[in-house]
Each structure stands twice: as structure tokens, then as C-alpha cells.
Structure 1
């Protein structure tokens, strides 16, 4: 038996928690990264003999290399798309915030002007008005 198999298996198990939600969704069809190609298929493992076991270790090692490369591509693509969406949202939010702030400033200015006008009128009428 090859000791390398246990190292590969340990690496796969340790890396299994590193997949992001975008990658998990790619497997379900909700989102994908077509530029990364097809997701590598996990090989079957045959442990019926030492020879088959050794061949399985080779297949798993090849799969690990391809799967890590694919996962890196998917993560990079997802990050790029998420950043673009975030930047677009930030611009839209800034536009809305600017419009909202302008309305608030106008209304506050109107209140200042109206209050000053009413205060001046009240003083003019000797405070006897309403």
C-alpha cells in the first residue's frame, strides 16, 4: 500500500471545508463558472487488490490536482463577479443616498426659512399673532 494515499486523503479532507458557497452552488446548477471548464469528476476507488488500490491512489492524486485547480478558478471567477456586483451596488446606493440627502437638506432649509419668516412676522405683530 502507498503511504501517499493517506497524505492525499488527509489533504482532501482538510481542503473540503475550504469550498465557498459559490462553488457549492456551481454543483447544483444555481451558479457556475463556464470559463473554468467542467468540474472534474471524482474517480471511483477500487481496493480489491494492491494493484487496483495503487491505481486508485494515482487517480485520486490526479483528481486532487484537477479539482484544486478548478476550485481556484471558480473562486477567482466568483470573487471577480462578486466584486463587480458590489461595486455596482455601491454606485447605486451612492446615487440614492445623494438624492435622499438633497431632499433632506432642501426640507431642512425650507423649515429654517419658514421658521425665520414666521418669527419675524410674530415680532412685527408684537407677538399677538397666533
Structure 2
């Protein structure tokens, strides 16, 4: 009577896939421009066996397009996140290298100044005796 027995298992898999997304992610507006429009979930009509079976077909079609769209979004997101991460890593290294160079110069200056003061003090102390 109900043609599509796999419906619950399919929906369960899709729900598990979506459940991994943090709740606040839905509030953000980023979407990739290369994946097309997000497919819209169909309305399920269970008022008769025939309408239920049509709904099962619509849900199955939606599941295919939603999974493909999700895979595209994930692929693009990883690519963009990696680019941002690499850029951040490069900027951090640039700042770190600059900071290290300043610390080394100042350290060298302190060493030089301390050496000059010790030598000068010893010279002046020797001259005073």
C-alpha cells in the first residue's frame, strides 16, 4: 500500500546530516555563488495513499538535489575557509617575524649598551684609583 518504505530511512539520513550544523549557522547569510539556489523542501500530503506516494517521490527528488547542493556548499566552504586560514597564517607569520626582529634588535642593543657601560665604568673606576 505504501510504495516507498525507504522514506523514513532517507529522511533520517538527511536529518543526521543537517543536525551536525550549529544552530547559529542558520542565522548567517553566506552562501556560495557557484552552487545555484538551495532546493526548497516539498510539502508532504498524507491525506490519501496516492498523495502520500506523490509526496514520497517529491521527498526523494528533494533528497537527491539537497544532498548535491549540500556537497557543493561543503566543497566551496572548505575551499574558502582554507584560503582564509592560509591568508591568516601568512599574516600571523609576517607579524611574528616583525615582532621577533624588533625583540632581537632591542636585545642586541641592551647587550651592547650593558657592555659599553661596564667597560666605561671599569675604565673610570681604574682612572679614579
Is the shorter-chain TM-score for this pair beyond 0.5, marking a shared fold? yes
1:16 — aligned with what? 18
Cα deviation 1:87-117 (Å, max 9, x = unaligned): 1111111111111111110000000000000
Asked if 1:125 corresponds to 2:124, the answer is yes
Whether the aligned pair in 2 keeps the contact of 1:43 and 1:59 (CA below 8 Å) is: yes
The structural deviation recorded for 1:8 is 1.8
2:63 — aligned with what? 64
1:6 — aligned with what? 8
TM-score normalised over the length of structure 2: 0.87
The structural deviation recorded for 1:119 is 0.4
| SS of residue in 1 equivalent to 2:65 | helix
Distance 1:38 1:54 in 2: 26
Whether the aligned pair in 2 keeps the contact of 1:23 and 1:75 (CA below 8 Å) is: no
Cα deviation 1:42-89 (Å, max 9, x = unaligned): 001110100100110111011111101101100110110111111111
Q: Which runs of 4+ in 1 moved over 6 A?
A: 20-23
| SS of residue in 2 equivalent to 1:60 | helix
Distance 2:106 2:25 in 1: 48
TM-score normalised over the length of structure 1: 0.87
Whether the aligned pair in 2 keeps the contact of 1:33 and 1:78 (CA below 8 Å) is: yes
2:92 — aligned with what? 93
| SS of residue in 1 equivalent to 2:125 | coil
Q: Is there any run of 5+ residues in structure 2 with no aligned partner, and where?
A: none
- Pairwise CA RMSD: 2.2
2:34 — aligned with what? 35
Q: Is there any run of 5+ residues in structure 1 with no aligned partner, and where?
A: none
Distance 2:127 2:41 in 1: 89
Distance 2:93 2:23 in 1: 28
| Aligned residue pair count | 126
